[in-house]
Amino acid sequence: MSELQAILDRVADGGRMTPEEGLRLYVEAPNDALRDAAVAVRNRHVDPGTVTFLIDRNVNYTNVCTTDCKFCEFYRPPGHAETYVLDRDVLRVKLSELAAAGGTRVLLQGGHHPDLRIEWYEELLSWMRDEFPQLQRDAFSPPEIEHIAHVEGLTFAEVLERLKAAGLDGVPGGGGEILDDEIRQIVSPKKTKTAAWLQVMAEAQRLGLYTSASMVFGFGEEPRHRISSLTALRDAHDRSIATHGLGFLAFISWPLQHESRYGHVFGELKGLQLGGTEEEYLRHTSFCRVFLDNIPHFQASWPTMGLDVAERALRCGCDDMGGTMMEENVVSQAGSVHCSVSEQQVRKTIERAGLEARKRDSWYRLLEPGAAGAKR
């Protein structure tokens, strides 16, 4: 048995690889060996025969932002003619459509608007809770929380405590990209750094909010940067579980979507090769499932890769399809054409992989019974 296979077998049996072992495996391990180990880790955490999904909508409440991330096509700087902040009438239509479709979650994210005060966010959350109590509110990624804290002169904990009291249920894992400050300084120098991102999530977990983690790769970083980012997530999850009994519920990754007005500018920074192929995404997904042995759920990124590749990701350690996303405005503006799918399309994708589709909520609680005789 090779040394690489011995490491993978150890992890498949419940052990853990070191970052140094992870770096070697990331570069050298065969795809099929990574995939087999990823499936073994998946099956330790979840029902081997089931893949979950939820009905949701991604609402971007404003596109005003001051961070000027080089890879973002969605944002507009303050004063731009195309800026917006959604009003209650528009939001009511969007959320009514989601509720009518049997939705359970609204994913609420936006830019860093310099003029919105914390009371605006509190009023928005409480209004949504009162008018649409059936919808869980997964809102404001760590960079947004940091921005609100900066505007108000509050701590992350104070911001999250107030937002939770107003109706916040969870904090999405956006804005993480690569959690390595060498890369973050290049691609998003004004945006949240690694320690602050992790601190926001630790506070959210302390308060009992559900959280997820994400990773965007393909900024021209080296494998060592990716391992650094994954190690930061793995260690943070361990700390929160030990301290608060709650860590990240899920992880999702995808390659940079860069077919935008900024893509050529960004690439010229270092002559970088941006994004990633389908095969690179699948290999990366398998590796992450093996390395992040403590995070229970892995989502297949159909919004960036499409349903056919997402189906293949279900054989690379993923156990969840995420949300149907009745609406998507960020990665679509960066070039992705996979913006929204129906519940039936998600179910068919899961079934083609030989697995049973089960609807869930944001806490991964199943909302429908399994088929009679289905594998458990």
Tokens of 273: 């090769």
Confidence of residue 339 (pLDDT cuts 50, 70, 90): low
pLDDT tens per residue, range 35-57? 999 999 999 999 999 999 999 99
Residue 184 has pLDDT above 50, yes or no: yes
Q: Report the pLDDT averaged over residues 174-185.
A: 93
Asked whether residue 178 is domain-assigned, the answer is yes
Comparing C-alpha atoms, which of 130, 128, 118, 127 is closest to residue 161?
A: 118
**pLDDT digits over 297-323, tens only?**
999 999 999 999 999 999 999 999 999
Domain total of the chain: 1
Does residue 235 lie in a domain region?
yes
List, for residues 130-167, the tens digit of each pLDDT value.
999 999 999 999 999 999 999 999 999 999 999 999 99
- Considering the domain boundaries, does residue 76 fall inside one? yes
Q: What is the pLDDT of residue 336?
A: 45
Angstrom distances, CA of residue 171 to CA of 279, 318, 347: 30, 21, 26
Residue 102 covered by a domain:
yes
pLDDT over 70 at 126, yes or no: yes
Between CA 367 and CA 39 the distance in angstroms is 24
* Mean pLDDT (whole number) for 68-73: 76
Q: Which of 135, 124, 125, 131 is nearest to 164 (CA)?
A: 125
Give the per-residue pLDDT at 272: 57
Residue type at 106 in one-letter notation:
V
368 assigned to some structural domain: no
Give me the domain span that covers residue 283: 3-359
What pTM, to 2 d.p., does this model score?
A: 0.92
CATH value at residue 292: 3.20.20.70
- Residues 330 and 110: their CA atoms lie apart, in Å, by 9
Among 57-71, 80-94, 111-125, the least confident range = 57-71
> Tens digits of per-residue pLDDT, 201-216?
999 999 999 999 999 9
Q: Classify residue 163: in a domain, yes or no.
A: yes
Residue 337 in tokens: 């054409």
Summarize the confidence of residues 273-286 as an average pLDDT: 92
* Residue located via tokens 């303050």: 78
Indicate whether 168 belongs to any domain. yes
- Average pLDDT in the chain: 91
How many helices and strands in the chain, by DSSP H and E? 15, 10
Residue 257: predicted pLDDT: 78
pLDDT > 80? residue 173: yes
Is position 376 within any domain?
A: no
| Residue 268 confidence (pLDDT) above 60 | no
138 beta partners: 107, 170
User: In this model, does residue 271 exceed pLDDT 90?
Assistant: no
| pLDDT > 90 in the chain, percent | 80
pLDDT at 264 over 90: no
Long-range contacts formed by 12-19: CB under 8 A, 24+ apart: 12/36, 12/37, 12/40, 12/41, 12/290, 13/40, 14/44, 14/293, 16/293, 17/290, 17/291, 19/227, 19/228, 19/231
pLDDT tens track for 3-13: 999 999 999 99
The vertex-299 CA angle with 3 and 336, nearest 5°, equals: 110
Q: What residue type is assigned to position 36 of the chain?
A: D
Residues of the chain with pLDDT > 70: what percent? 90
